[in-house]
Amino acid sequence: MGRRIRRTLRALARAFLEDRYVAYLERKLRGAPVPHHVAIILDGNRRWAAERGLTVSRGHRTGGEKVATVLGWCDEAGVEVVTLWLLSTDNLTRADSELIPLFATIERTAAELALHPRWRVNLVGAPALLPERTRVALETAVAATASHTGMVVNMAVAYGGRHEVVDAVRALLQEHERMGTPLAELAEQLTDEHIAQHLYTRGQPDPDLVIRTSGEQRLGGFLMWQSAKAEFWFTDVYWPDFRKVDLLRALRDFSKRERRYGR
């Protein structure tokens, strides 16, 4: 038997076993608690490409092609909000040779999500830091899906956790300046809810589950305010290789945890 045939048979056997395991996990999750909000750090595109001798832009493009598929799995599971960290403010310092194709991938992803009949796209980040073409593509997707009532998809682009908190405090101070609130009075009355009302994700539930791919076990400032009480799940799988079985494992792990919120 030739090597190509053996490889094909092994791939078919792996696919068959994975399908069986997916079906098993789906049965186990029936009736189990499902996170309302899942936040995902899409990490590992560059390393995925490097290990295959491919260009960085190919890695980002393949990662972008995975987005709608994973969102579909989240929708099937009953998740109400998904936040995807596609580009951080720190990433904006990378070379143009990487950023220009990455911006193009984000634009294609936004256009693809805008075609979904139910999902509502929301921009999370600082659009003023983006090239005009990318900003317009994201804002077009937001406008095209504004009336949709299905799963909310937050595209975190040019997003940084510290940047978000600074923006929230700035917006809060500007609001109270317009209202004529004395600074001393604001300082006396200030609560965490006042700041939460000015975050990029205001009006949405905080993430229940944060997933990071690629083996890194840190948040890097992702939703640093909102994730204070979230559960975390890390996987060694690079984002382009992220499978349905990986998502279901994360959901199963979440369903087994006892969330005591400090009590």
Taking the C-alpha atoms of residue 58 and residue 76, their distance in angstroms, rounded to an integer, is: 28
The active-site residue, picked from 75, 91, 167, 241, is 91
Residue with tokens 């996170």: 35
Active site residue 122: no
Among 43, 206, 208, 246, the one annotated catalytic: 43
CA distance 31 to 83: 24
Q: Residues with Cβ < 8 Å from 39, sequence gap 6 or more?
A: 82, 83, 84, 85, 207, 209, 210, 211, 222, 223, 226, 227, 230
Distances (CA, A) of 225 to 13, 34, 146, 171, 230: 44, 22, 25, 16, 10
Q: Are the beta carbons of 84 and 152 closer than 8 angstroms? A: no
Which residue do the tokens 């005591």 mark?
Answer: 260
Please confirm, yes or no, whether 45 is among the known catalytic residues: no
Token pair in block for residue 181: 């609130």
- Within its chain, how far is the Cα of 12 from the centroid? 31
CA angle, 146 then 75 then 246, to 5°: 135
What positions carry a catalytic annotation? 43, 91
